[in-house]
Amino acid sequence: MSREIMVVNDSFTNCSDANFYGRISKASELSEESNCTVTAVCIGNFNDELKNVFEYGADKVLLCKYDGCSHTDFCRIADKIIAESRPKMIIFPGSELGRRCAASMSVKHEMGLTAECIDIEWNGEAFIYKRAAINSSAIVQIKCVNCETESCTVKDGVFLPNKVDTPKAENIELFDSSGADLELTDDIEVISCEKKEKSVSTFSKIAFGFGRGASDKETLDTIYENAAFFDAQVFGTRAVVEDELIDKEHQVGQSGISISPDVYVALGISGACQHVVGIKNAKKVIAVNQDENAPIFDYADYAVVGDAKEITKEIKKIIEYQKQ
Ligand SMILES: Cc1cc2nc3c(=O)[nH]c(=O)nc-3n(C[C@H](O)[C@H](O)[C@H](O)COP(=O)(O)OP(=O)(O)OC[C@H]3O[C@@H](n4cnc5c(N)ncnc54)[C@H](O)[C@@H]3O)c2cc1C
């Protein structure tokens, strides 16, 4: 049986994405425990940045040079790769392209598929996939049975990129996609594709999150000022996105993004399970809420019961004092 973990890239042009490196790092960690190898599957037109994947623990790059940007062709190539390699596990990105490809491949190759996985562990015998379920009110653990290849999709920001101490020697294998002829309907026509500069970093060291309890203009202005001092990103709950106080790109949670900061400062956030599922990988959570029974305190490492407005102002005062 194959002992290969494949990590699929989701861009035809960009191989320098911290999220891709994060998924490779996770695969590398699992490979050590499960005695597997890690192959970075890169379908597209890449420059030398491709070699960076070795720093994050890849054993091999399987490079399929492809100049187009058709989702259907991507799936066809992935299909041929899977048919030829039958890896133990495939990690797909949680992007539109990754989810589409994972769904098609799981049917075609009878692979187990855990969508929107938030963690993967090796229990000594099998991979255990964790994901939120029942409207994010529970984290379930999934084990794939009776399938040669198992797979999952992982959203950006879930796994942190970690460089390995001793990268493997560069091993780039070219994959010949000729004859990739999976029958698929071309229902999406991609006219062009270009590298999008992301304004959101899911890996900033410090992140401020605000909810309805910290959403008046004065508090918000102060939160942004404080964030600028700490070089931190600002995120919001779905409630404040719906109130148009921050754009959807910065919504953390089940229907938004996942973030993995060292410190997450949750201001005036109730702590609904749909929100906290997006901060599962934050190393420390500091929560400020005036309701001592707010659910966010169940997840917080440090709980501050008080008015978010006053506490935000206090943080500003400390910053100003430090600047002097
Ligand atoms: C299918 C589905 C998907 C969802 N996806 C997401 C998602 O991705 N992300 C997300 O965030 N939500 C999501 N939600 C919504 C989620 O259930 C909550 O409704 C939302 O997170 C609540 O946002 P909030 O904490 O800002 O607001 P509220 O629930 O209104 O909470 C405000 C909090 O602020 C506190 N507060 C009030 N005034 C102050 C003050 N002066 N100082 C300090 N604290 C104060 C209150 O005590 C309260 O705890 C989803 C819901 C569903 C059904």
Q: Ligand 1 centroid vs 1 CA: distance in angstroms?
A: 47
Q: Is 294 in the pocket of ligand 1 (CB under 6 A)?
A: yes
Q: What percent of the chain has pLDDT over 70?
A: 95
Is pLDDT above 80 for 1? no
Atom from ligand 1 closest to the CA of residue 256: 8
What is the rounded distance in angstroms from the CA atom of residue 82 to the CA atom of residue 49?
24
Q: Where in the chain is the domain with CATH 3.40.50.1220?
A: 206-323
Is pLDDT above 80 for 196? no
Q: Is 312 in the pocket of ligand 1 (CB under 6 A)?
A: no
Q: Is 236 in the pocket of ligand 1 (CB under 6 A)?
A: no
Mean predicted lDDT score pLDDT of the chain: 91
Two tokens, residue 296: 């966010």
pLDDT of the residue at 280: 86
Q: Ligand 1 centroid vs 244 CA: distance in angstroms?
A: 14
Q: Where in the chain is the domain with CATH 3.40.50.620?
A: 4-174
Asked if 278 and 185 touch (Cβ cutoff 8 Å), the reply is no
Averaged over 246-262, what is the pLDDT? 92
Cα dihedral sign, 75-81-84-86 = negative
Asked if 63 and 77 touch (Cβ cutoff 8 Å), the reply is no
β-strands 89-93, 112-114 pairing: unpaired
Q: Ligand 1 centroid vs 271 CA: distance in angstroms?
A: 6
Is pLDDT above 90 for 200? no
pLDDT of the residue at 160: 87
Averaged over 219-246, what is the pLDDT? 95
Q: Which amino acid is at 42?
A: C
pLDDT of the residue at 139: 86
pLDDT of the residue at 197: 66
Q: Is 25 helix (H, G, I), strand (E, B) or coil?
A: helix
Is pLDDT above 80 for 195? no
What is the rounded distance in angstroms from the CA atom of residue 305 to the CA atom of residue 297?
9
Q: Ligand 1 centroid vs 212 CA: distance in angstroms?
A: 7
Tell which phi-psi region holds residue 201, choosing left (phi > 0), alpha (psi between -120 and 50) or beta: beta
Q: What is the dihedral of CA 82, 83, 85, 90, to 10 degrees?
A: 20
Asked if 236 and 190 touch (Cβ cutoff 8 Å), the reply is no
Asked if 209 and 236 touch (Cβ cutoff 8 Å), the reply is yes
pLDDT of the residue at 199: 67
**pLDDT digits 0-9 by tens, 87-144:** 999 999 998 889 999 999 999 999 999 999 999 999 999 999 999 888 777 889 999 9
Q: Which residues contact 184 (CB under 8 A, 6 or more apart)?
A: 72, 75, 76, 104
Instruction: Name the closest-CA residue to atom 22, ligand 1.
Output: 239
Asked if 80 and 179 touch (Cβ cutoff 8 Å), the reply is yes
At the fourth CATH level, the homologous superfamily of domain 4-174 is HUPs (3.40.50.620)
The helix/strand count (H/E) of the chain reads as 7, 15
pLDDT of the residue at 320: 82
Q: Is 239 in the pocket of ligand 1 (CB under 6 A)?
A: yes
State the architecture of 206-323 in CATH terms.
3-Layer(aba) Sandwich (3.40)
Mutate to test the pocket of ligand 1, among 116, 212, 276, 297 (most ligand atoms within 8 A of CB): 212
Averaged over 51-59, what is the pLDDT? 96
Mutate to test the pocket of ligand 1, among 269, 279, 298 (most ligand atoms within 8 A of CB): 269
Q: Ligand 1 centroid vs 291 CA: distance in angstroms?
A: 13
Q: Ligand 1 centroid vs 239 CA: distance in angstroms?
A: 6
Averaged over 147-156, what is the pLDDT? 94
H or E stretch covering 302: strand 302-305
Two tokens, residue 304: 């501050």
Is pLDDT above 90 for 323? no
Q: Which of 2-6, 162-166, 254-258, 307-311 has the lowest mean pLDDT?
A: 254-258
Averaged over 261-271, what is the pLDDT? 96
Q: Ligand 1 centroid vs 246 CA: distance in angstroms?
A: 14
Q: Which of 8-17, 100-109, 195-204 has the lowest mean pLDDT?
A: 195-204
pLDDT of the residue at 191: 74
Atom from ligand 1 closest to the CA of residue 135: 1
Is pLDDT above 90 for 48? no
Among residues 137, 128, 161, 163, the alpha carbon closest in space to that of 260 is found at 161
H or E stretch covering 22: helix 18-34
